[in-house]
Amino acid sequence: MNEEQNKILGTITKMGQAYNAGDIDAVMKAYEASAVVMFEPGKPVTGPAAVKATFQASLAVNPQFIFGKHEVIIAGDLALHLTPWTMTGNTPDGQKITQSGLSVAVLRRQANGGWLMVIDNPHGQSLLSLQDGAK
């Protein structure tokens, strides 16, 4: 990866580490104020307060994310980041849960040269299941 791709990967990595640590304030530093996050397929969440509250609520299962390989594509001041992920956690009643998916994120270069997410869809794979039924 080149220097800009590594900056983008740094944004993603810091966000993931902050989330695994339960530090939602640090998670929010990876997003522009107008970011859209898809916590569930087809259900976008917008606005900093709503995004933060949804992230906070998701900590109820004590999630731990592991990312797979990363692909970063840059076009000017926009970038596309793709990575498979696996999450493990525990429901409030103690049952172990495991989920996985394909994260698709769009980032924008900031005036300071850093990169922040503007669209974050950790459920990019969900369209594959819809494809089977759409004939």
The answer as to whether 75 is a domain residue is: yes
The alpha-helical segments, DSSP class H, found in the chain are: 3-20, 24-28, 48-58, 126-133
CA atoms of 118 and 106, how far apart (whole Å): 6
- Residue 17, domain CATH: 3.10.450.50
Segment 73-132, tens digit of pLDDT: 999 999 999 999 999 999 889 999 999 999 999 999 999 999 999 999 999 998 887 665
Q: Does the model's pTM come out above 0.85? A: yes
The answer as to whether 114 is a domain residue is: yes
The answer as to whether 78 is a domain residue is: yes
Mean pLDDT of the chain: 94
Segment 55-78, tens digit of pLDDT: 999 999 999 999 999 999 999 999
Angle at the Cα of 116 from the Cα atoms of 76 and 62, rounded to 5 degrees: 145
Q: Give the total number of structural domains in the chain.
A: 1
Domain of residue 85: give its range.
3-126
Say yes or no to pLDDT of 133 above 70.
Answer: no
Say yes or no to pLDDT of 135 above 70.
Answer: no
